[in-house]
Structure 1
Amino acid sequence: MKSNLIRNGFIAAALMNISGVLLFSRAFTNEAINQADPVVMSNFGLLMIMVWGLAYLGAAFVNGNVRWLAAVFAIEKLIYVVVWLLWLSRHDLASVYEMDLFAGIFYSIYGLNDLAFMLFFAWAFMTASHAAKHESG
């Protein structure tokens, strides 16, 4: 049960990263996302978010203990949550909505999405660690 839940969570994280970027960036044509945060959310940054999604997808099909991958993914998501909170504290979200609705929605939700998956990956790490401890001991 838990292994299916973990696999499905990894797949969901992959789909969110890949489809979310493609949808909100309009397949990398939405310049408002880039303009609102030209460092983190450049087209290169958005592409790397999709690459992380591919890493989650690959991890979903690993037939072994993925606890350390889950730990890395939780840390990666934590970084995006912190970056998002810092961005929100320094920028006017309303002005992003004025530039583009999709960009506004993107900047409103991406950190919440990353927070949810950060908690999931942390849970997956702890679950896998607990299972490994019981197997060895």
Structure 2
Amino acid sequence: MSSSVIKAGFIAAAVANISGVLLFSKGLTNTVLMETDPVVMSSFGLIMIMVWGLAYLAAAFTQANLKWFAAAFAVEKLVYVICWLTWISSHSLSDVYQQDLFAGIFYGIYGVNDAAFMLFFVWVYLKSAKAPVDTART
């Protein structure tokens, strides 16, 4: 398992969370995005997504075994994937696109993006679980 690939993956997850929220929420001003799913994507919810991004960034620069960080991050992403699947199955994406292009793009891709990073975090967990424990790094 290449530590540079893992580090890059954690940084990519951080960038996706932080810049994705800032871009698609138009700097936390996109009311259509927030009102479309006010429970998960409220202004507080969007800020917390960016906080998770900061956690991914911190993990990218951590020298310790990332096994349990990756497991926690995988569960967190699973929760968002389930929220997205629930939302997408009961709402009209085209209605959101008609109200705001950025909100439409966001709701169209966020679950797929989270699923991809969930699989990455699962991969890191599984690779870390098989790796010998380096007690000097933990």
Which TM bucket (shorter chain)?
over 0.9
CA distance in 1 between partners of 2:80 and 2:2 (Å)? 26
User: Secondary structure, in 3 states, of the residue corresponding to 1:121?
Assistant: helix
Alpha-carbon RMSD: 1.2
- Runs of 4+ aligned structure 1 residues displaced above 4 Å come to none
Question: In the alignment, is residue 119 of structure 1 matched against residue 112 of structure 2?
Answer: no
Question: Could you tell me which residue of structure 1 aligns to residue 72 of structure 2?
Answer: 72
State the Cα distance separating 1:2 from its structure 2 match. 1.3
How many residues are matched? 135
2: CA distance, partners of 1:104 / 1:86: 16
> Which amino acid letter does the alignment assign opposite residue 47 of structure 2?
L
What is the rounded CA distance, in whole Å, between the counterparts of 2:20 and 2:129 in structure 1?
A: 30
Unmatched runs of 5 consecutive residues or more in structure 1: none
Q: Secondary structure at the match of 1:132?
A: coil
What runs of 5+ residues in structure 2 fail to find an aligned partner?
Answer: none
Match in the other structure for 1:101: 101
What's the CA shift string for 1:28-67, capped at 9, x where partnerless?
Answer: 0100001110010001000000000000000001111010
Percent identity over the alignment? 61
Q: Secondary structure at the match of 2:131?
A: helix
* Richer in helix (by share): 1
Partner amino acid for 2:9? G
**2:27 alignment partner in structure 1:** 27
Give the distance between the partners of 2:34 and 2:41, measured in 1 at CA. Answer: 5
The DSSP-based 3-state class of the residue aligned with 2:132 is helix
When the two structures are superposed, what TM-score results if normalisation uses the length of structure 1?
Answer: 0.95
| Alignment TM-score, normalising by the size of structure 2 | 0.95
Give the match for residue 15 of structure 1: 15
